[in-house]
Chains A and B, each alone.
Chain A
């Protein structure tokens, strides 16, 4: 390695890591210290400049640890795993039957199903009646009540309806 290359590398290291050899790359430290020592006059200004910047960097104080931080840490880290949170009141209202043995929420679907059956029966009967009055148009068709029909979601199956003009 030429002298210029050696000095160039020393300058780069001083510019990057500062004047303290402890901060220099470990694998180059010994060699660079020897170069600095051999060329003391030439490198004095560089070293001094790096030292000044190190000095300024060393003015930054250590941060204070916030009060109570250690105790907060211990409390959080060693906290035993918590049992699953159960909302007893919510669980009770969800699963328990109302007093008196009658559960309205269970009765509603049953009622809807019964009403649907009734409607089917009425329509079937009506078809017989209309067939007798209007012999040529008296066909009851099974049709989807379409989006937004009130009964769709409640009953859960297709509604029966009359084809347009069947009862005219």
Chain B
């Protein structure tokens, strides 16, 4: 009788240790119909996939739907990846692509016609919550014109190569760089009043930065 499927967190220690096995090995097991291996894979990849979709779509339920599509694909038709391939990166890209497609269906005219400034309503709301540095920055990003926001999300947060991000947005690399530069300028302008406070927050080890920069 087939055992109920469990996530990695719910697996026995022995089974959980299999999460150390490489993703590609797990993928081979999934290809052979091993549901347990699939459970481990989902547990390990889900946060990456979900966050990639959420960054683009900004709606939890839709991000879950995109993640479901990604794992449906992995389960139903496991990708043939080369030995050196990174399944985590692959699944994040598939999620990002799926999220962009979904966004495009909702907003066929993802436009960048808006002026280079953050949505005033969002900025005002952000100003009210200036004590929450992360919220202020997130809201400023959310207030960017859609293509500027997506350019920033794809290159800065998702780390896509510029050519790949440009392809996803259906623009040239030059246009992508223009979107990025405008996005960054707009963010700085929107957050100008809180700027020093934000930098201090970062210096104290806020969120992802851990208070350090890579130097060039």
Contacts and interface: CB of A to CB of B under 8 A. Distances in A.
Contacts of A74: 5-7, 38-39, 42
Given A58-B207, A74-B39, A21 B216 contact: yes
Given A12-B177, A77-B75, A78-B38, A63 B68 contact: no
Contacts of B173: 25
Contacts of B213: 19-20, 51, 54-55
A160 B188 CA distance: 87
A147 to B, nearest CB: 45
B96 to A, nearest CB: 14
B207 A59 contact: yes
Main secondary structure of the interface of B (DSSP, over half): helix
Contact of B43 (A26, A47, A70): A70
Contacts of B177: 12-13, 16-17
Interface string B32-72: 00010011001100110011001100001000100110011
B143 to A, nearest CB: 13
A47 B9 CA distance: 43
Contacts of B203: 55
B116 interface: no
Contacts, number: 142
Interface stretch (B20-28, B104-112, B134-142): B134-142
What bracket does the count of chain A residues touching chain B fall in?
35 or more
10 contacts: A16-B184, A17-B156, A20-B214, A58-B209, A59-B133, A61-B134, A61-B207, A62-B47, A74-B7, A76-B68
Interface of B: 5-7, 9-10, 35, 38-39, 42-43, 46-47, 50-51, 54-55, 60, 64, 67-68, 71-72, 75, 133-134, 137-138, 141, 152, 155-157, 159, 161-162, 173, 176-178, 180-181, 184-185, 187-188, 191, 195, 198-199, 201-203, 206-209, 213-214, 216
The 10 A-B pairs with the shortest beta carbon distances in the complex, nearest first, are: A58-B209, A16-B180, A55-B202, A16-B177, A15-B181, A58-B208, A70-B7, A16-B181, A59-B207, A61-B207
Given A26-B161, A71-B10, 15 more contacts: A12-B181, A17-B177, A20-B214, A25-B162, A51-B213, A54-B213, A58-B202, A59-B198, A59-B206, A59-B208, A63-B51, A65-B51, A75-B5, A77-B38, A78-B38
